[in-house]
Amino acid sequence: MNITLEQAEAVVDAAKQKAADIKTKMNICVVDSGSNLVAFIRNDGAWLGSVDIAIKKARTAVFFQMDTADLSPLVQPGKPLFNIEHSNGGLITFPGGVAIKDANGEVIGAIGVSGSSVEDDAEVAKAGAEAYR
């Protein structure tokens, strides 16, 4: 099972709306279950450095079938996965990447959001993920 373009566009639209509601400028990305890009948009004036971060957040969520926020505590100095970010051509392990699952709990893709505080990024990503059905 893989997220479709139509579903991905609904996810991006919901995230875009939330980004506007909280007055942020975001990079918003959806990847499929193989971590390949399906849809992407960047708000006018959003940070350029966040293009890659949004994509890496989404890919990281698919790679490990979990939200990037769940990885954050594990990658700190002294913790089990310290410096895991050096794999896979670069990971991003702070909040803003959310796995999207189907009714059976299978990961079918992920959304990655970057452009503001990680709290804002995570809120926008969550709003996007919830639009999937």
The residues that touch its own copies, with contacts defined as CB under 8 A, are 2, 4-5, 8-9, 32-44, 47-53, 56, 60, 62-65, 72, 75-78, 80-95, 117-118
The burial class, CB within 10 Å (0-12 / 13-18 / 19+), for 66 is: middle
Q: Which is nearer to its own copies, 89 or 133 (CB)?
A: 89
Min separation Cβ 129 and its own copies, Å: 18
Buried b (16+ CB within 10 A) or exposed e, 108-131: bbbbbbbbbebebbbbbbbbbbeb
Nearest distance from residue 32's CB to its own copies, in Å?
8
Instruction: Please identify, using beta-carbon distances, which residue of 92 and 127 lies nearer to its own copies.
Output: 92
> In terms of CB distance, is 91 or 98 closer to its own copies?
91
Count the residues in the chain.
Answer: 133
Distance CA 87, CA 101 (A): 24
- Smallest gap from Cβ 130 to its own copies, in A, equals 21
Hey, what are 58's tokens? Answer: 């989404």
Closest separation in Å from C-beta 31 to its own copies: 10
